[in-house]
Amino acid sequence: MAIASNDYTRLGQAARKFLDRQHGHLINGEWLRASGDLAVIDPSSAQAIATIGAGNATDIDAAVHAAHAAFQHPSWSALSAADRERLMLRLADLIEQNASLLADLECVDNGMPRGFAGINVGGAAGVLRYMAGWASKIVGDTVDVKMPFPGSQFFAYTTREAVGVVAAIVPWNVPLMMAIWKLAPALAAGCTVVLKPAEDASLTTLALADLIIQAGFPPGVVNIVTGRGREAGEALVTHPLVSKISFTGSTATGKHISHLATDSLKKVTLELGGKSPTIIFDDANLEQAILGAANAIFTNSGQICVAGARLYVQRSVFEQVAAGVARHADSLVLGAGLDPSSQLGPLINARQQERVEGYVQRARESGASLLTQRHSPQTDGYFVAPAVLAGVDQSDALVQEEIFGPVLAVLPFDDLDHAAALANDNAYGLAACIWSSNLSRVHQLVPRLKCGKVSVNTEGFPHPALPEGGTKQSGYGRDLGRESLDGYLDSKTVLVRVS
């Protein structure tokens, strides 16, 4: 394992200019000065590279009022679905035209490798395009009703209506993508939005704000306020003019937000944490399965909600698979995202670095065997070398808790029943991955897994048309796919007596 260097000369001109800007909040189509500042830290160097606004309740109040006014204003409410679609497509084009800037910013703000950042930027444009198509396909039903009134006739139908102002709160792990997962269906449905990115990675969302203005969205349709969760986030989710909260983040914060929303009965969608199992049967293509299992946990340094953090391997191939995944982990190049040779970026901050290392250390103290070399990077950045640990117990914290880092627990299983029991023995229920060449086995196991998504003989790549979300402690509601629109629409029943 090598440690790639960190070299800011690789940053494009547009990104350098963007970092030097004074960043405020986008409210009612204008940039407003922030009342306080937050430092933006590049996790690969631990250096401050920019400042963003520390939004407070006053900023949030202004943003929500702007969104509320825009929701009722004919420039948005009377806009045809085709015109909403056109605006969204224009925004997607602008994202692509500014892909280099956005990828550069994601790279130094979140720490992810530049190549992965580029994929996410392209993916964000793809989600907008997919959702833009739904704007013109939102329909209700006509319902045949007969009432017990002789001689009378009735006609009934349902309509779907935008819920109103959406509070969208997103995490730092894939910042632009997470923002678009919320924005795209909300805009397609005709809602207006106040978006609060995570305080640890807001830059691409701020760059997106420029593009939203450029695309020509009416003022107030999308408002962006940066700041801390306790301050800006809480003011947003408790604001009386917000109709819907769409949250992606940790389970603890999601529960807290859900409590806060109870009194006002706001609609809530929660995309929360995970501890997803990868299950490898002895009849799998082991070469592909080993690579898939490694990618499932090490992509974005394990900072992905669906990360395959628990690897269950059928006993007869356990040693071979565990050693293969560890070998792959040891071959990965840790480094700053801007370095093209880097495959594994840092974690987001010092707190996460310490937390993740703590899990590895405690597991080793309890007797787990470390299968990876773990050369410690000599840098100020928040790097964590990948760890593959065997000899752990199903009840260990390492196996049960979301770590959100490049740490994999490997355990053996005997048969399908055993694999299903181990996979489901966890508080979370986000995703699972099965590797097997036996279709019968696969289709017996899929319905037994309690989670929102199962991928078979492939990594669980997101696709705009496929719903993402979970069950159990992973939350409820869905991002992406047609289903995601439901979270931004109310249903209205109309009953008409025609004679």
Instruction: Choose which of 172, 217, 281, 383 interacts with ligand NAD (CB under 6 A).
Output: 172
Q: What are the φ and ψ backbone dihedral angles of 63, each rounded to 5 degrees?
A: -65, -40
Residues 370-429 binding ligand NAD (CB under 6 A) are: 402, 404
Q: Are 280 and 435 contacting, i.e. CB atoms less than 8 angstroms apart?
A: yes
User: Smallest distance from the beta carbon of 363 to ligand NAD, in angstroms?
Assistant: 20
Got the DSSP string for 249-286? S-HHHHHHHHHHTTTTT-EEEEE-----EEEE-TTS-H
Site string for ligand NAD, 278-307 (x = CB under 6 A): ---------------------------x--
Contacting range for ligand NAD; rule: CB under 6 A; set: 129-137, 142-150, 272-280, 337-345: 272-280
The answer to whether residue 199 forms part of the interface with ligand NAD (CB under 6 A) is yes
The answer to whether residue 256 forms part of the interface with ligand NAD (CB under 6 A) is yes
The one catalytic residue among 199, 271, 402, 468 = 271
* Largest Cα–Cα separation, the chain: 85
Got the DSSP string for 90-117? HHHHHHHHTHHHHHHHHHHHH---HHHH
Q: CB neighbours of 229 closer than 8 A, spacing ≥ 6?
A: 169, 198, 199, 253
Token reading at 78: 């009377």
Q: How far is 18 from 113, CA to CA, in rounded Å?
A: 19
User: Smallest distance from the beta carbon of 129 to ligand NAD, in angstroms?
Assistant: 20
The answer to whether residue 451 forms part of the interface with ligand NAD (CB under 6 A) is no
Token reading at 427: 């508080």
Instruction: Choose which of 230, 315, 351, 362 interacts with ligand NAD (CB under 6 A).
Output: 230
- Establish whether 191 is a catalytic residue: no
Nearer to ligand NAD, 279 or 307 (CB): 307
The answer to whether residue 106 forms part of the interface with ligand NAD (CB under 6 A) is no
Nearer to ligand NAD, 84 or 453 (CB): 453
Contacting range for ligand NAD; rule: CB under 6 A; set: 164-172, 325-333, 363-371, 388-396: 164-172
The answer to whether residue 272 forms part of the interface with ligand NAD (CB under 6 A) is yes
Token reading at 493: 């029943």
Q: What are the φ and ψ backbone dihedral angles of 10, each rounded to 5 degrees?
A: -75, -10
| Number of chain positions touching ligand NAD (CB under 6 A) | 32
The answer to whether residue 258 forms part of the interface with ligand NAD (CB under 6 A) is no
DSSP state, 217?
Answer: P
Q: How far is 320 from 325, CA to CA, in rounded Å?
A: 9
The answer to whether residue 276 forms part of the interface with ligand NAD (CB under 6 A) is no
Q: Are 273 and 206 contacting, i.e. CB atoms less than 8 angstroms apart?
A: no
* Percent of residues in the chain assigned helix, strand, coil, to nearest 5: 40, 20, 35
Q: How far is 188 from 396, CA to CA, in rounded Å?
A: 44
| Amino acid residing at 148 | P
The answer to whether residue 237 forms part of the interface with ligand NAD (CB under 6 A) is yes
The answer to whether residue 70 forms part of the interface with ligand NAD (CB under 6 A) is no
- Establish whether 433 is a catalytic residue: no
Nearer to ligand NAD, 109 or 468 (CB): 468
The answer to whether residue 253 forms part of the interface with ligand NAD (CB under 6 A) is yes
The answer to whether residue 220 forms part of the interface with ligand NAD (CB under 6 A) is no
Instruction: Choose which of 55, 126, 171, 346 interacts with ligand NAD (CB under 6 A).
Output: 171
| Amino acid residing at 114 | R
- Interface residues with ligand NAD (CB under 6 A) are 169-173, 178, 196, 198-199, 228-230, 233-234, 237, 248-250, 253, 256-257, 271-274, 305, 402, 404, 430, 468, 470, 474
Residues catalogued as catalytic: 271, 305
